Amino acid sequence: MIGLYDRLARPLLRVLDPEDAHRLVIRMLQFAPLPSSAADDERLATRAFGLNFKNPIGIAAGFDKHAEVPDALLRLGFGFVEVGTVTPLPQPGNPRPRVFRLDADQGVINRLGFNSEGAEAVLKRLAARAGVPSLRFSTERQVRGGGIVGINVGANKDSADRIADYVGLIERFAPVASYVTINVSSPNTPGLRNMQQGSVLDDLLARVIDARERVTQHAGATPVLLKIAPDLSLPDLDDVVGVARSRRVDGMIVGNTTIGRPPSARDNAASEAGGLSGRPLFALANRMLAETFVRAEGVFPLVGAGGIDSGKAALAKIRAGATLIQIYSGLVFRGLGLLDEIKRAFIATLDRDRQDSLKDYVGADAASVTAEAWPV
C-alpha cells in the first residue's frame, strides 16, 4: 500500500519545484489516510541516550521543520523523527528559489536559511500530540505520543544573543521533546557555524547543559545532542569533540550539509549557493563520522547522516560509527521504499552473521575509514 502510494506520487513530485513538492508531501501526510507499517524486527531495537528506539532509522531535521507530521512519519515506520530547525521567533528564511534538486548527482542543495514558524507555533502542535502534556519523565519520553520525536533548535538570524536563543529553546522544548539537538552547523545563517569554534562552543554548551539541568525537575532529563558540519578541519573536530565530551553532551549528529562541491558533482544546479546533501555528500560525511567516532571513544553515541541512499550505504554508516542514522535527500530520489530497503539490509546482515543486534557493527570500520585517502 505504501509502495503504491509512493510510486504514484513520485512522478508528480519530480515535475514540481522541490519546495512545492515538499509542501505537497507534508499535506499528503497530514490528510491522506496512512496505513501503519508492520512491527519492526526486534533485532533492530536500539538503545541510545537512555531512549529505546524501535529501529535506528530516523528522518533528519529539515523535513518536518514545523512539527506538522511527526506522528504520520512514525506510523510510516521511522524509528524517530527530528523536527526543526525551530527558531525562537518566526522568520521567513531566504528568498525562493532556495531548494535545488541535482538529478544528475542524486543530490540536493538548499539555502532555506531557517525558515521557521517559530517556537510558539511548534510548541502548540507538539503539546497537542496525544498524551504529550503529561510527558514528564524520561521513561515516558518516548512512549507518550507514540514514538521518539527530537527537536532541532537554532538561533534567529537577527538575534542579538544567539546563545540566549538556544538556552530559551531548551527550556521551552524540554518538556515535549524526546531529545533536543543544538544545530550550529547550518551553512545558511551567516556566522552560525562559527559557534562550533572551541571557546564559543564551550560557552554555548555550558549554558545549554545548565538550562537542561534547571528544567529537569519538571521536564525529566532531556538528552542534548550537538549537530556538526562535515566541513570542519580535523584540528577543529578535535576541539569540538573535546568540548562536547567535557560538557557531557549526550551525543553528536554527524552531520549537516556541506558547503563544498565535490568535483564529481556535474549537475548544473551544483553551482547554486547553499548546503549540499545526498549522494555527493556520502564520502565526506562518512569520513567525518568515523573521525568523530575515534575521538569520542565510546563516551557518547553518534547519529550518522549524509548521503544514505541504499541499504549498503546505511550499513556503511553504522560500520563507520553510527548507532543511529538519519535520512532525508535519499527519500527525494528513492521514495519511502528506501526505509524498507534499509531495514531489509540490516536484517539480512544480522541473519547472515547470526547476530541479534546491530551493536557489534557500530564503528567496526572506523579505523579503516580514517586510514583511507581524504575523500574528494
SS3 80: strand
Nearest to 288 by CA among 188, 196, 366: 366
Q: Does 183 bind ligand FMN (CB under 6 A)?
A: yes
Per annotation, catalytic residue among 37, 116, 186, 329: 186
Residue 26 is placed in which grid cell? 507534508
* ∠ Cα 209 201 221 (to 5°): 15
Q: Does 322 bind ligand FMN (CB under 6 A)?
A: no
Measured from the CB atom, the residue of 147 and 306 that comes closer to ligand FMN is: 306
Q: In Å, how far are 59, 70, 97, 180, 218 from 64, measured between CA atoms?
A: 9, 7, 19, 15, 26
Among residues 142 and 277, whose Cβ is nearest to ligand FMN? Answer: 277
CB of 249 within 8 A of CB of 242? no
Q: Is 145 left (phi over 0), alpha (psi -120 to 50) or beta?
A: left
Q: Write down the least CB distance from residue 78 to ligand FMN, Å.
A: 13
- Please, what is the minimum distance in Å from the beta carbon of residue 299 to ligand FMN? 22
Q: Tell me: does residue 305 bind ligand FMN (CB under 6 A).
A: yes
Q: How far is the CB of 234 from ligand FMN (least distance, A)?
A: 20
Identify which of residues 103 and 351 has a Cβ nearer to ligand FMN in the complex: 103
In the bound state with ligand FMN, the residue whose beta carbon lies nearer, of 105 and 220, is 105
Which cell goes with 31? 490528510
- Is 58 near ligand FMN (CB under 6 A)? no
Residue in 56, 145, 306, 321 binding ligand FMN, rule: CB under 6 A = 306
Q: Does 222 bind ligand FMN (CB under 6 A)?
A: no
Q: Is 99 a binder of ligand FMN (CB under 6 A)?
A: yes
Cα–Cα distance for residue pair 258/273, rounded to 1 Å: 11
DSSP 246-265: HTT-SEEEE---BS---TT-
Question: Whole-number minimum distance, CB 131 to ligand FMN, in Å?
Answer: 26
Long-range contact pairs involving 269-273 (C-beta distance under 8 Å, separation at least 24) = 269/100, 269/101, 269/102, 269/109, 270/102, 270/105, 270/107, 270/109, 272/100, 272/109, 272/111, 273/109, 273/111
Residue choice 56, 58, 62, 70 for contact with ligand FMN (CB under 6 A): 62
3-state secondary structure of 163: helix
**Which part of the chain contacts ligand FMN (CB under 6 A), choosing from 29-37, 56-64, 161-169, 244-252?**
56-64
Q: Is residue 60 near ligand FMN by the rule CB under 6 A?
A: yes
Q: What are phi and psi of 18, to 5 degrees?
A: -55, -35
Q: How far is residue 69's CA from residue 39's CA, in Å, rounded to a whole number? A: 20
* Euclidean distance between CA atoms 247 and 205, whole angstroms: 6
* Euclidean distance between CA atoms 38 and 229, whole angstroms: 34
Binding mask 26-45 for ligand FMN (x = CB under 6 A): --------------------
Query: What are the angstrom distances between the C-alpha of 178 and each of 49, 53, 80, 370?
Result: 10, 11, 9, 32
Strand ranges inside 111-246, DSSP E: 148-153, 179-183, 224-228
User: Is 91 near ligand FMN (CB under 6 A)?
Assistant: no
The reply to whether 134 belongs to the active site is no
Binding to ligand FMN by CB under 6 A, coded x per residue (else -) over 121-160, reads -------------------------------x--------
Nearer to ligand FMN, 197 or 310 (CB): 310
Q: Does 65 bind ligand FMN (CB under 6 A)?
A: yes
Contacting range for ligand FMN; rule: CB under 6 A; set: 118-126, 302-310, 344-352, 354-362: 302-310
Please pick, from the candidates 91, 106, 156, 329, the single residue that binds ligand FMN as defined by CB under 6 A.
329
As annotated, the active-site residues are 186
For binding to ligand FMN (CB under 6 A), which residues are involved? Answer: 60-62, 65, 84-85, 99, 108, 110, 112, 152, 183, 186, 227, 256-257, 277-278, 281, 305-308, 327-330
